[in-house]
Amino acid sequence: MSMPARAEPIYVVEDDAEVARLILTTLRKYDFDAECFSAGQAALDRIRQRPPRLCVLDLGLPDMDGFELLQQIRTRHRFGLLILTGRGDTFDRVTGLELGADDYMVKPFEPRELIARVRSILRRYGAETMPPQAARIAEFASWRFDTATHELAALDGKRETLSLAEATLLKRFLERPNQILSREQLLDGRSLDALDRSIDLRVSRLRKHLEENPQQARLIRTVYGAGYLFCADVHWT
C-alpha cells in the first residue's frame, strides 16, 4: 500500500544524475513528493527556505563533503536524514550516525529497501518528541526524570534532586533527543562570547549524574565544532 503524499517534500542530494533519477522515480512511485539537488549548498539554500520532511544524502558531493553538509543541517534542523552513499566502510558509517543521520545505506541499493527505510524514519519522526502539555515524567536509558520536582531516579533506586541549571539543561536535551544542539540552543538562544564555556561546565556536571564514566560519555556526546548530542530514546508520561 502506498503512502499518501505529504505537504513537506523529501529532498535528494545526489550529484550522479542516473542515481538521482532512480531515487526520484522510486520515491514518486510510492507517492512521495521529492526534489533533487546536485550540490550541498543548493540543498542548504532550499532547506532554509522550506525544510523537508526527510533528506536522502550522498556523501560524495562536488562542492562539500557530505559530513559537512550533515553537520550543518543537524545544527539547525530536525527532520529525517538518510545517508545513501558508495562509501561503505565502518568508519564512515559510524561517523554518519554519530553526526545525526537516522540511517545509512550503501550503493547499489534495492528500491524497495530504500522505501522501507524511508518509511521507518518517517514513522519515527511522526511521533512527537516534545512532551505533551500535561506530561512531566521523562524515561530514558536507565533513568526517570520528573520535570516538576527535578528528581532524577535510576533503576537501581538511587535518587537525587538536580539544581535548577542542571534540570533546565537536561530538559532541553530530553525535548530534542538524537539531535545536535549548539551551545546557543542549549542556552535558549543567548549568544556566546568566544571565551564563554559556561554551557560546557553545565554539561560536565550533568554528565557526572548520568554517566558511569563522564570522560567517555555515552548519553551526552560532544560533536566538535557543532555542540552536543543526547543519544537516547525518550518516553514522556
Task: Report pLDDT for 2.
Answer: 40
The least confident of 13-22, 58-67, 94-103, 178-187 is 178-187
Banded pLDDT at 183 (limits 50, 70, 90): confident
> Residues 65-91: what's their mean pLDDT?
90
Give dist(CA 231, CA 173) in Å, integer. 9
Task: Report pLDDT for 36.
Answer: 97
Q: Is the pLDDT of residue 175 over 90?
A: no
Banded pLDDT at 55 (limits 50, 70, 90): very high
Task: Report pLDDT for 126.
Answer: 66
Q: Is the pLDDT of residue 177 over 70?
A: yes
pLDDT in tens, 185-232: 787 644 444 444 678 889 999 999 998 888 888 899 998 878 899 998
Q: Report which of 19, 4, 9 is spatially closest to residue 43, judged by C-alpha positions.
A: 9
Domains of the chain: 10-126 (3.40.50.2300), 137-236 (1.10.10.10)
